[in-house]
Structure 1
């Protein structure tokens, strides 16, 4: 039992490392505002085109930044969930056929 716990912790660490290496990007205004995050849902960069800085007022720029951040975090969440599901499937292998009990 203790071995299974250690294995799960090790696998979780491996997944975290993989997620750190995955980058997703959310954009707004045709890419003029761009936010990148890793698979662990950490913002790693923000890019704002100089043109949009000159043209937009503070409120518009804040709105565009929110859109890009939310898109990046949504993509990061999707990647995160997919990696966690794959790890769970790998570790438990469908629970020995129990998965079919619930209408799979």
Structure 2
């Protein structure tokens, strides 16, 4: 029984290491999103860190439109990044979970 417990602990440590590696890798996965007319472009990582924002000069003339475009475009990009992030981390967590009775909700 003690050996099984040590094996499970090692599997959990391995899973934690893989999750951390995946988080680092997700910093290199870039998501690009644009407004419908292409006048605003944003890039962020799958860990939801904004890397760049490109604004067409025409948007600088209308503060309200620029704010609306920023909100809409950033929200779309964040939604995509969150989907990628959650799918990747869930896959790693599922793969690394030891078989603990009653904890099959992760399988």
Compute the TM-score of the two structures, normalised by the length of structure 2.
Answer: 0.76
Segments of structure 2 that go 5 or more residues without pairing to the other structure are: 1-7
The runs of at least 4 consecutive aligned structure 1 residues that moved more than 2 Å come to 51-54, 92-95
Aligned to 1:23: 30
Q: 1:89 to 1:2 in 2, by over 3 A?
A: closer
Q: CA RMSD in A?
A: 2.5
Residues 27 and 67, structure 1, Cα contact 8 Å, conserved in 2: no
The structural deviation recorded for 1:79 is 0.5
Segments of structure 1 that go 5 or more residues without pairing to the other structure are: none
Aligned to 1:90: 95
Compute the TM-score of the two structures, normalised by the length of structure 1.
Answer: 0.78
Aligned length: 97
